[in-house]
Each structure stands twice: as structure tokens, then as C-alpha cells.
Amino acid sequence: MTDELLRVESVDKSYGDERVLTDVSFEMDRGDVTVLIGPSGSGKSTMLRCVNRLTEIDDGAIYLDGDCVTDADTNVNDLRRQVGMVFQDFNLFSHLTALENVSLGPRRVLGKEKAEATQLAREQLEQVGLGKQLDSYPAELSGGQQQRVGIARALAMDPKLMLFDEPTSALDPELIGDVLEVMRDLVDQGMTMLVVTHEMGFAREAADELVFLDGGKVAERGPPEQLFENPQHDRTAQFLRRLT
Ligand code: ADP
Ligand code: MG
């Protein structure tokens, strides 16, 4: 019995004639933070989307907690219940308050009573620093606050794994820090997180491993110290030089 939570094994993925992922492999133990980095178009979002079956792989396999998630007969709703996803553009329901956005999943998907789901949502929102904005609608919140609602919404489902796809890329610079702070709290709590970000400060301090995707291939992976201080490939060095 290992503590492995996610195993991505030789994944290939094309859109039509365009090969987007080639032989991508990496593993995460429970509690690990892995940061996927790479140029625009290198397949980072596609890789995340394969993990919760928002898109289908062509070859290889992905395992979550020992179960193959890429089998045709996998229950996709069951899978998505275990994997929280946070998107760049928040994806909140505009006609629902923060509290309603967060309690919806526990009510509809987990079948919790209204009072219990509401209490759970309140606690999640307090945890991301939004205890005073429970009844606000998305349009009344800043981008950073909306993203924190998005994180609370994913956490309310008590996921085994959290996926983050450039969670701060749509935010004004002064709002990025609050979202990163919430993510650091999650790291401290031992959440297993697979994160796509260009925030190299976060990657450096929070990641157990960086995976550098280039042209849909894993060009290099290793602890942040290795990639930042002693990259094994020129492409890694070039990419990081441009960002830091
Ligand atoms: P990244 O997140 O690293 O910027 P993506 O995974 O979004 O990269 O995209 C990788 C490549 O796949 C890009 O060339 C993109 O145009 C293409 N792509 C992504 N999603 C689709 C899709 N749904 N249909 C067709 N091509 C897509
Ligand atoms: Mg992307």
C-alpha cells in the first residue's frame, strides 16, 4: 500500500490532427503539491481536463486513489465528486449568492439537507475570508473574492484532489495575493493540489514537484530547487528565465 493518489501514465491526446499531449507521465502522493508549468499551448489545461474527464485521452491511463479514471465504464459523476476544479474565469452562477454557489453542490450532488449544506458553505466561505460576503452576488464581488468563492465551492465537496487552472491569471495584480494566500492555507492543511500557474513565487515555495510541459511533452520534472537553480535542459532554463 503506497500513499499514491494520482498516477498519470503515458498519456497521449490529440484534437483532430493536432497532437497536444505525448507520453505524459507523473505521479502524486497524498498531500503533494505539483505545479504544471510551460508555455501557452503546451497542453497544461488539457492535462488537467483529462484528470476529471472533461476531455478524453487517446492512450495511456490515469489512476486516482488506485482506480482507473480513464476506463470507458468509470462513473464520471463519481470521479468529479472527488476532484475539485478551480478555473481561471471563476465560472460562478451569477444569479446565486456566494452562499448559494457554495451550498449548491453539497445539496444537489451530495444530497445534504439545506440547513447542513448552508452551514458547510458558511464555514468554507469563512475559511477563505469571505464570512462577510455570504449574501453577495458575484457581480458585487471583486475578481479575487469571486475566485475565493470558486475555491470554497470546490472545497465544499470534500475532494481528494484539487485542480487549479491559472486561478490568478484573470485577476488584477493587487488581488492575486489574497487568492495565493488561500491556496497556501490549503497546502498547509495537506490538500493534494495539481496547479497550473505562472506565479513562480508560489511554485517555488509551495510545490513538491514542478512538471515542465513543452510541446505536450514532459521536458523536465523535479523539485523546485532543481528546476530553478540547476535545470537539466536548456528549454527549462529559457522558460524560467523569461518568467522570473
Ligand atoms: P495550455 O493550457 O498549456 O495553454 P491547452 O491545453 O489549452 O494549453 O492547449 C494545447 C493545444 O490544444 C493548443 O494548441 C490548443 O489550441 C489546443 N486545444 C485545446 N483545447 C482544444 C479543443 N477543445 N479543441 C481543439 N483544440 C484544442
Ligand atoms: Mg491553459
pLDDT digits (tens, 9 = 90+) for 152-177: 999 999 999 999 999 999 999 999 99
> Quick one: pLDDT at residue 114?
96
Spacing, Cα 41 to ligand 2 middle (Å):
7
Residue 116 has pLDDT above 90, yes or no: yes
Which residue lies with its CA nearest to atom 19 of ligand 1? 46
Are residues 124 and 156 in contact, defined by beta-carbon separation less than 8 angstroms? yes
Average pLDDT over residues 133-151: 97
- Beta bridge partners, 220, equal 212
Residue 94 has pLDDT above 90, yes or no: yes
Summarize pLDDT for 49-63 with one digit per residue, the tens.
Answer: 999 999 999 999 999
Place 20 in a pLDDT band, splitting at 50, 70 and 90: very high
Which residue lies with its CA nearest to atom 11 of ligand 1? 41
Spacing, Cα 165 to ligand 2 middle (Å):
7
Spacing, Cα 168 to ligand 2 middle (Å):
12
- Which of 40, 46, 89 has most ligand 1 atoms within 8 Å of its beta carbon, as the pocket-test mutant? 46
Determine what percent of the chain is predicted with pLDDT higher than 70.
Answer: 99
Is the minimum distance from the CB of 46 to ligand 1 under 6 angstroms? Answer: yes
Q: Enumerate the H helices of 93-172 as residue ranges.
A: 98-108, 114-127, 143-155
Which residue lies with its CA nearest to atom 22 of ligand 1? 15
Joined together, the cell numbers standing for residue 44 give 497544461
Summarize pLDDT for 64-87 with one digit per residue, the tens.
Answer: 999 999 998 999 999 999 999 999
How much is the CA Rg of the chain, to the nearest whole Å? 18
Spacing, Cα 41 to ligand 1 middle (Å):
6
Rounded-to-integer distance, Cα 47 and Cα 56, Å: 10
Residue 244 has pLDDT above 80, yes or no: no
Is the minimum distance from the CB of 13 to ligand 1 under 6 angstroms? Answer: no
- Beta-carbon-side half-sphere exposure of residue 156 (alpha carbons within 13 Å): 33
Rounded-to-integer distance, Cα 194 and Cα 48, Å: 8
Residue 146 has pLDDT above 60, yes or no: yes
Which residue lies with its CA nearest to atom 23 of ligand 1? 15
Is the minimum distance from the CB of 236 to ligand 1 under 6 angstroms? Answer: no
- Which of 40, 45, 239 has most ligand 1 atoms within 8 Å of its beta carbon, as the pocket-test mutant? 45
> Quick one: pLDDT at residue 1?
54
> Quick one: pLDDT at residue 242?
86
Global pTM reads 0.96
Determine what percent of the chain is predicted with pLDDT higher than 90.
Answer: 97
Residue matched to cell numbers 479575487: 144
Average pLDDT over residues 9-34: 98
Residue 41 has pLDDT above 70, yes or no: yes
Q: Enumerate the H helices of the chain as residue ranges.
A: 44-51, 76-82, 98-108, 114-127, 143-155, 173-188, 200-206, 224-229, 234-243
Rounded-to-integer distance, Cα 239 and Cα 228, Å: 10
The DSSP bridge pattern shows strands 209-214 and 192-196 to be unpaired
Mean pLDDT for all residues in the chain: 96
> Quick one: pLDDT at residue 243?
81
> Quick one: pLDDT at residue 196?
98
Count of Cβ atoms closer than 10 Å to residue 35 Cβ? 25
Place 141 in a pLDDT band, splitting at 50, 70 and 90: very high
